[in-house]
Amino acid sequence: MSVIQLSWVDWSIIALYFVFIIGIGFYLKRFTGTGEDYFLAGRKNSSWVAGLAFLSANLGALEILGWTGGTMKYGMFVSHWYWIGAIPAMLFLGLYMMPFYYSSKIHSVPGYLKLRFDERSRLLNAFSFAIMTLLMSGINLYLMALVLRTILGWDWHLSMWISALAVGCYIMLGGLMSAIFTEIVQFFLIWFGLFLVAILGVVEMGGINQVLTGLPDAMSKLWSTTGSAANNAMGVTWAYIVFGLGWVLSFGYWTTDFLVVQRAFSSKDLRSARMTPIIASFFKMALPFIIVIAGLVAYKLTQMAGADFKLLAHPVTGEPWNDTALPLLIARYYPQGLVGLGITALLAGFMAGQAGNVSAFNTVWTYDIYRVLINKNASDAHLVWMGRITTLVGILLSVATAYLAMQFNTIMDYIQAIFSWVNAPLFATMLLGMFWKRTSPTGAFWGLILGMVTSFTIFLGFKMDFLSTGMVNLITFSNAPVSEISDMSRNLSQAAWAWSVCAIATVLISLFTKPKPEAELVGLVKGFTTIEHEGKIAWYSKPEYIAVIAVVVFVILNIYFW
């Protein structure tokens, strides 16, 4: 049974969107004859195009449904993932790490590991990243099916296959160029299609002050409740937020995850590549005014007598399903004729995330696994063909992982766990590799393994309940009973341990093993890299100046919502 009946105008908007994005794939196919065209969009994009695509690739299910549902569970604390959990890392990527990435002319992050260390580190990261992207891709399919089922009453299986086939068509045809082009369109669809939900919710509540008034203290503040884990809904202290999220998970994702970094690689020159994440940071800071506000409105509606707003039941646990909040708000506020735009905006977000994962997966598989292990002498044309085949395989595997995502009530807990397995230890490796010339290939490889094993072992320990109370308290730096430790605090602690173990192990092993010759570090390590001259640029157009403005806005937001 559908939640809302769509008019012919709504159906027309949805149908036109699918026709448009598939048509884009057919049109751009003629411009993707080489590997650089297909996998890196020809390195022709401006900083604005790359910047919007950079954010749009991240603006999928993770941002839209995941954090709207997460807000109902954690309140204003969700804003940490947009501010302390994103902005410093995005600016660091643009100012300090992008020169190493861009100057080496690599196709992927595993490609950098090959040049800086050796083939072992490249393959380890390539395989782990490929698995991670398939899991993330499955999340997008699952949440898209959730929207179609919640609002339209469609069958689960039909909904996922429609999403999978649409994304597969335009990525197979146009590669990264097609993904980036549609991500730009999707970016504006998301903003114009969903911002009105937050506005109408605030109007119904009687103003923004009424949305924030009456919330439990544990859900209404950013920093003032972080002195003790018991004072906030997430059950964490400021140390978790600063180190676990602000340092490990944030930098681990934004500076090493090829899904987003690939968009900066498509820039036409180094300055555009550096500006890509800096431009994106401003839009990232604004997203809580859509996502978090909508989540708070949904929370207030569930607490109001007679509000006639009830979350759907989770198909596995039977509990109120937080991730259904945003589709139900669209059904509540949008009239016929406009609801089609809202649904299209949601579909755009899922397909942007799906396209980002699939395009990153086909690049890493083709260049860092297939060409290395299977066909070392593959021609450029053959690699493009393999990229298209890999897209199809990736889509099919994503359907399988979508059913795994269905087991989680709040999808953000699942996503953050995945990031702690792969990105957290990888950030330690990348940081040491770029800024410490003594980091050895052996140290990097075994440090990565130990960091990943540490994170996954902690995850299994919590899920399978084989950790003693003393061990849990040691891992989480908390004296709280095991039953009161939230999923998100576990994720932050396992990310912190993964990064720390990887960093310490890498340093210790590197001190006793042979580093690479300094001649092989040119363009890869601080002090051995000549930064490409950006030409004569006005001071107000320099990446450093724009980054300072972003820092000022970032500080103001954190102080205002303290």
10-residue mean pLDDT profile of the chain (562 residues): values are: 68 78 64 50 61 70 74 84 89 83 68 85 84 78 72 72 69 56 70 81 84 77 79 77 82 76 72 83 87 87 72 69 79 78 74 70 78 79 77 78 66 70 86 89 94 87 73 69 68 85 95 90 75 64 86 91 82
Where would I find the H helices in 206-249? 208-212, 217-220, 238-239
Sign of CA dihedral 266, 47, 546, 90: negative
Distance (Å, rounded) from C-alpha 168 to C-alpha 161? 10
% helix, strand, coil for the chain, step of 5: 75, 0, 25
Q: Domain boundaries in the chain?
A: 8-37+59-560
User: What is residue 37's predicted lDDT score, i.e. its pLDDT?
Assistant: 47
Quick one: CATH architecture of 8-37+59-560? Up-down Bundle (1.20)
pTM assigned to the model = 0.76
Per-residue model confidence (pLDDT) at position 35:
47
d(CA 518, CA 508): 20
Output the six-digit token pair for 265: 């690689």
Q: What is the pLDDT of residue 344?
A: 77
| CA count, 13 A, side-chain hemisphere, 494 | 29
pLDDT at residue 443 in the model = 94
- The SS3 of residue 232 is coil
Which segments within 456-527 are labelled E, that is strand? none
Question: What's the pLDDT score for residue 513?
Answer: 94
